[in-house]
Amino acid sequence: MNILLVSDCRHPGRCLFEFLSKHTDHDVKMETWKTGPMITENQDEEHLSNVMKGTDVVIFSSGCDEQAYEQAPHSSVLKHIKTLIKMASRIKVPRFILLSALGADDPQGPAEDYLYHKREAEDYLKNSGLSYTIIRPGHLIHGGPSGKINMQENMQWIVNVDISCGDIALVLKSILDSGKLINKIVEITSGENSIKKAIHGI
C-alpha cells in the first residue's frame, strides 16, 4: 500500500515514519510542516492533491503531543486537520487514520482546550464519509516498542497512561497489515497484552 504520513511532531512523526519504512512492505512517504502557519498558506490544494494522489492510507499525527501542540494556536492545527480530511475525501483516499488523544471523548481539566479540538477533529473525520480509524494514545514517551499494550474502545480504569512511540508504530503496522479497526475509535496505553491480542479483542 501507499501510505502518506502527515505530521508536525518532530520526534513522534520521525519515529513513526522510520519504523513503518523499515518494518513494513508499504511505500511510506512523509509530509511535514512547521507548527503555526496554516498548511494552505504554504501548500495549495493542487499540491495536496498531487501529494495524496495514489495514496491508500493517510496517517495524521499533527498535534499528537500536548506540549508541541501548545506552540501553535489550537484553531490553526485544527484547520490543518480539516484541510487534509477534506482533500482526502475529495480524491477518495480509501482510509484515514487519525492519532488523537486519550480524554478527547470528554474534554476537561488543564488540557480541556487541547482535547476539545482533538474531539472536533474526530467528529469532522467521522462525518467526512471516509473509512477511518481514530487512535487515542495516552501520554507519548520516547522509546522503542515493548509489544505490550492496553487497548479498549472506552477505558474506564487506567493504571499507566504512558505509551511509547514505538508501540504506537507497532499498532499502526498491525492495523495496516490486517485491515482491522475500520470505522473504530480505540484508546491505547502501555499494558500487558500483545498487540495482536489487543486488536483481536476489539
pLDDT tens-digit readout, 80-89 = 788 889 999 9
pLDDT < 70 stretches in the chain:
8-10, 33-44, 62-76
List the domain range (segments joined by +) for residue 64.
Answer: 2-200
Q: What is the CATH number of the domain that holds 38?
A: 3.40.50.720
Contact yes or no for 150/198 (Cβ under 8 A): yes
Please report the pLDDT score of residue 111 as a whole number.
82
Please report the pLDDT score of residue 76 as a whole number.
66
Residue 160, Cβ density class (10 Å: 0-12 exposed, 13-18 middle, ≥19 buried)? exposed
> Cell digits for 104?
478527547
DSSP one-letter string for 159-172: S--EEEHHHHHHHH
Please report the pLDDT score of residue 137 as a whole number.
94
Total domains, the chain? 1
Please report the pLDDT score of residue 7 as a whole number.
83
Please report the pLDDT score of residue 21 as a whole number.
93
Rounded Cα gap, residues 15 and 165, in angstroms: 7
Please report the pLDDT score of residue 88 as a whole number.
94
Phi, psi of 175 (to 5 degrees): -75, -30
Please report the pLDDT score of residue 63 as a whole number.
53
